Amino acid sequence: MISKERIAEAKGNVKQYVHDGMLRLKDNEAPKFVPFFMKNAESSLQTASILQQISDQQNIKDLLKASSP
pLDDT (tens digit, 9 = 90+) per residue, 3-50? Answer: 999 999 999 999 999 999 999 888 898 899 999 999 999 999 999 999
Q: What is the DSSP secondary structure assignment for residue 22, as one 8-state letter?
A: S
Are 31 and 19 within 8 A, CB to CB?
Answer: no
**Quick one: pLDDT at residue 5?**
95
Backbone angles phi, psi at 6, to 5 degrees: -70, -35
Are 60 and 51 within 8 A, CB to CB?
Answer: no
Measure the CA–CA gap between 53 and 42, rounded to whole angstroms.
17
Residue 55 has pLDDT above 90, yes or no: no
Domain positions in the chain: 4-64
pTM exceeds 0.85, yes or no: no
Are 57 and 63 within 8 A, CB to CB?
Answer: no
